[in-house]
């Protein structure tokens, strides 16, 4: 149990960087194969999807009164993004480890 929690904490730290690396590389390869050399943000949603949840939730709970276009750039929204990403990938790691251990036990 302790090992699973420790591994999920490590997964919560390292998996966001691994996700950015893998998805960013895939996006780069797909865009270069298709010949799209222009810099547009059509793929940005795929790369930033797990990282924007915390800031969007923060802005939903505490709406910005001024400078609404820059609401996701406030320090609390950025911290919410970082903490939300850590929690998301930590819980996913824990769930995968739990499923793997239970699968071995019942098989």
For 77-96, the DSSP string reads: HHHHHHHHHHHHHHHHHHHH
Q: Longest Cα pair distance anywhere in the chain, in angstroms?
A: 57
pTM of the full structure: 0.73
Report the C-alpha gap between 30 and 86 in whole angstroms.
28
Report the C-alpha gap between 52 and 60 in whole angstroms.
12
pLDDT digits 0-9 by tens, 39-61: 666 666 667 777 777 887 888 88
pLDDT digits 0-9 by tens, 9-36: 999 999 988 988 888 888 778 777 777 6
Report the C-alpha gap between 54 and 19 in whole angstroms.
17
Output DSSP code: residue 68.
G
């Amino acid at each position: 149990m302790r090992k699973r929690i420790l591994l999920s904490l490590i997964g919560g730290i390292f998996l966001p960087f691994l996700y950015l690396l893998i998805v960013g590389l895939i996006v780069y390869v797909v865009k270069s194969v298709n010949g799209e050399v222009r810099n547009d943000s059509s793929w940005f949603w795929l790369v930033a999807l797990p990282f924007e949840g915390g800031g969007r939730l923060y802005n939903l709970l505490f709406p910005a009164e001024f400078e609404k276009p820059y609401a996701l750039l406030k320090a609390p929204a950025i911290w919410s993004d970082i903490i939300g990403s850590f929690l998301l990938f930590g819980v996913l790691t824990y769930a995968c480890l739990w499923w793997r251990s239970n699968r071995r036990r019942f098989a």
